[in-house]
Amino acid sequence: MNDVLRTPDDCFVGLPDYPFEPQYAGVRADGLEPLRMHYLDEGPADGPVALLLHGQPTWSYLYRKVVPVLVAAGIRVIAPDNIGYGRSDKPAVATDYTFARHIEWIRSLVTGLALRDVTLVAQDWGGPIGFSVLAAEPERFARVVAANTILHTADPALADRLTWAVHGVGDSRVVLEEGLVDYLLYTQRAPVLRPSDFVGAATVTPPDAEVLAAYDAPYPSVEYTAGLRQMIALLPLTRNDVGARIGRRTMRALEQFDRPFVTAYSDGDPATRGWDRVFQERVPGARGRQHVTMGGAGHFLQEDAGEELGRVVAGVIATT
């Protein structure tokens, strides 16, 4: 196997509002040796489980405002760092990261911890990854809260449904939002990627400098950022992409999911706007639910409205 990097522990000392004890589990994915995944495990061990999944370019620090609200409601919180992120191991070679492996790594954590009666809380890439784990392990999941997330399919039926267009046209063409293409190209060409730049740009209220620095803490040098950069390159932009095929398979599973499925999107995230309606229409468990639109929040709604998101999740668990 290629080299695996592990961010030194001292990079995580003194992070603001992140007092949680680190937990670690070995996780597996096809073709690679086991890796060490970091996760938070807070709240009562016998409480209902909320699995909080982050995306690009964040880590479990994103959920630091959500976790205390859930714990106070008697909920056990599991919040992992994707491989390549946070305190989890970071393969140094970009091609070691694939969409399928990200799914396998989270599935390995869920099965390894023997999680049941799980409420999946998914934002950004946490949706495509988490929904695909749900599709593979449906009996483990009791409900879903989808928060500013999508499911990559490039389906032509998405035409005129999304603010950021990604959909096929005819047999061999695709319509793409210019901003999405600009974002993808920038991240592949920039000599250095700093998560803080993206978090600061995609929140309504820019976080303090110390908070922004915490998002950069897992990456003391450019060598640690292979997974950070590669996840963006994995964005499926066409129907032929392997990730789009995974997304379509996962969507078929969601179209059979009749347990509670609640959308909690912000009003300030054009990148995911429209997906809440798509899920509401296509997932049986979303019909008749009280869906939420959070005002004054950007893409990283956990920063702008973390406590509110926590209350939404706790309410869904308590009432369903």
Closest CA to 8 of 61, 87, 82: 87
Side chain identity at 161, as an amino acid letter? R
Determine contact, residues 295/170, Cβ cutoff 8 Å. Answer: no
Instruction: Tell me the β-bridge partners of 146.
Output: 122, 263
Which of 23, 35, 9 is closest to 67 using CA atoms? 23
The residues that are catalytic are 124, 269, 299
Tell how far CA 93 is from the center of its chain. 22
Helix ranges, the chain (H): 66-72, 99-112, 126-136, 178-189, 195-201, 209-216, 226-233, 242-254, 275-282, 301-319
Q: Give the pairing of strands 261-266 and 292-294.
A: parallel
CA angle 210, 213, 219 (to 5 degrees): 160
